[in-house]
Structure 1
């Protein structure tokens, strides 16, 4: 049974997007492969745009359904978990992707299903 609501998720989205952009520089990612830095920054920018376009409390344009947003989050989590294997990330580069990817998948798995009021 999940406990992360659509509203909680909305408030997590912007800080996570910013963290994906900033943390690679703070942690000095890219030593094993420059893509380790670039992938996170690019994903952070995309996540910020996705959040702006998502139909939830903090979405500005509300074009993308929330379920679609969750599907993209799950896909990002999977990509981040496998990226170290595919791109030969080592050390901090690999741990960063495994931790972030696992965390994203964990949060998505804790999503509380929305209920609709019956008439």
Structure 2
């Protein structure tokens, strides 16, 4: 099995699903016990994921401004920020775990995403 099995098209589907999860799950999980910013950082990130996805040059991008490689770079930046957020804002417990888990998931999604066809919307 190839390590990079997730096509840019399927990555786009994952992006939109992740955006919805980032917006909804903080409320389902009742984040915010260690800091009231905990749910809102996720919601804002989810909204930004939608904007970036719509601007990405892949099948589900509406405006196709951001090259797919640039999109993956932004994903890595978000994952890194998610790793730092608990320390920066004093998140503990579930609030911290939520961001650490999301960071690992984003790193993994980028790691398994194939780059071929990135500019053709395939």
TM-score normalised to the size of structure 1? 0.92
Q: Which runs of 5+ in 2 are unaligned?
A: none
Secondary structure in 2 matching 1:80: helix
Determine which of 70, 91, 94 is the counterpart of 2:96.
94
Q: Is the 8 A contact 2:8 2:117 kept in 1?
A: no
CA distance, structure 1, for counterparts of residue 108 and residue 16 of structure 2:
18
Give the match for residue 69 of structure 1. Answer: 71
Give the match for residue 107 of structure 2. Answer: 105
Give the match for residue 80 of structure 2. Answer: 78
How many residue pairs match? The answer is: 116
Structure 1 position 51, deviation (Å):
0.7
CA distance, structure 2, for counterparts of residue 115 and residue 90 of structure 1:
41
Q: Is the 8 A contact 2:69 2:115 kept in 1?
A: no
The 5 Å alignment of 1:4-23 reads 4-23=6-25
Structure 1 position 115, deviation (Å):
6.2
TM-score normalised to the size of structure 2? 0.90
CA distance, structure 1, for counterparts of residue 64 and residue 87 of structure 2:
35
Structure 1 position 113, deviation (Å):
2.9
Give the match for residue 30 of structure 1. Answer: 32
Name which structure has the greater RCO, CA cutoff 8 Å, separation 6+: 2
Moved over 6 A (4+): none
Q: Which runs of 5+ in 1 are unaligned?
A: none
